[in-house]
């Protein structure tokens, strides 16, 4: 992409199991700098794919294959089903043949200007403020409270959990890669 171009390309990758889901989107640079990229009408899907993780010895080789022939990527966001350490490193327990993942190594090996590793439930938690009331299904008769803490829970390979505190501060957690059996009728309804 030529210098001074007003477009920014973002790589998004999600690994929550044996399949990696990847896409490249293109955004107007002004929407990124203003923090409006999620609801930005100029966002354009450039490319997407699902790739089996077992076919690649590392996450770098998987992403490099996907990016082959593509223009420069400015931002890479990697949503991974594991604990992300403060130094932006992690180990994907469900893909044991991959070595430790390090943001700094992804950045260098893939020539991406900025790389961010996020827990797989942390990533969608950032989108919560952009949901409309029609997107939500109430679980109780209680009315939502403005500026309250919001929890995001869901079954995946374990129990995924993340929380958004007032001020849009996101806390990722690991609910655990354990069984989560339904114990009563209310559990089955959920």
Over the chain (190 residues), what is each successive 10-residue block's mean pLDDT?
72 92 90 58 88 96 97 95 92 90 97 95 87 82 84 78 91 68 72
> Same domain, yes or no, for 98 and 173?
no
Domain co-membership, 26 together with 108: yes
Q: Is residue 1 part of a domain?
A: no
| Cβ 107 vs Cβ 89: under 8 Å | no
Q: Choose among 74, 25, 76, 20: nearest CA to 50.
A: 20
What integer pLDDT is reported at residue 70 of this predicted model? 94
Domain-terminating residue out of 66, 100, 120 = 120
Query: 93, 120, 147: which is the final residue of a domain?
Result: 120
The pLDDT assigned to 32 comes to 66
**Total tally of structural domains belonging to the chain:** 2
């Amino acid at each position: 992409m030529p210098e001074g171009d007003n477009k920014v390309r973002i790589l998004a990758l999600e690994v929550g199991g044996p399949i990696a889901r990847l896409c490249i989107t293109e955004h107007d640079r002004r929407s990124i700098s203003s923090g409006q990229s999620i609801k930005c009408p100029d966002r354009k899907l450039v490319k997407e794919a699902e790739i089996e993780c077992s076919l690649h010895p590392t996450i770098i080789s998987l992403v490099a294959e996907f990016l082959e022939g593509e223009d420069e990527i400015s931002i890479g966001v990697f949503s991974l089903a594991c604990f992300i350490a403060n130094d932006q490193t992690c180990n994907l327990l469900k893909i044991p043949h991959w070595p430790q993942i390090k943001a700094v190594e992804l950045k260098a090996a893939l020539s991406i200007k900025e790389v961010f590793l996020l827990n797989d439930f942390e990533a969608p938690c950032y989108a919560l403020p952009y949901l409309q009331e029609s997107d939500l299904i109430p679980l109780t008769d209680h009315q939502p409270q403005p500026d309250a803490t919001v929890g995001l829970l869901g079954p995946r390979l374990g129990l995924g959990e993340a929380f958004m505190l007032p001020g849009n501060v996101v806390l990722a957690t690991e609910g655990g890669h354990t069984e989560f059996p339904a114990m009563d009728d209310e559990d089955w309804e959920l």
